[in-house]
Structure 1
Amino acid sequence: MNVDPFIEAEKIAGHNAKRTCELLKVSRTAYHARRNGLPGRRAVRDAELTEQITAVHQRSRGTCGAPRVHVVLQREGAGCGRRRVARLVWQA
């Protein structure tokens, strides 16, 4: 659920963004990061892994699926879970 529009509306109405974030149980850091358009750590790491997955897939001439790609990434030292790799393979 995206609460950013609600927080913005509260700010326009003259309420404190800090208090609004506390009431909605949203960290102010995350709110301001989303507001500034910065990608999160997960998105950045996913982009890096997607590049590595694409490289592994191309090296195998398109024959490696998610389980094999996961094994290759583990051997190369890219620590990530098999489900994450499967999700990124499917998205790529």
Structure 2
Amino acid sequence: MCFDNAMAESFFGTLKRERVSRVAYLPREAARQDITRYIEFRYNYKRLHSVVGYRPPCEVHAGYQKLRSTA
């Protein structure tokens, strides 16, 4: 059983630092929508990730698909 939650802690730390701490949410639904939008359009597509060589995940995925189609 794995008790290491460093990846989750890193994600939530980034989320708090880059988004949640900068915005005051009044209704809970507004917070849910804004955080979902941040994850879908910023964190997953534009933000550079160290795990994949400081490239955006969409670029890494496109490279993977290209490599997969040529193989």
Q: TM-score, normalising length from structure 2?
A: 0.34
Answer 1 or 2: higher relative contact order, Cα 8 Å, separation at least 6.
1
Q: TM-score, normalising length from structure 1?
A: 0.29
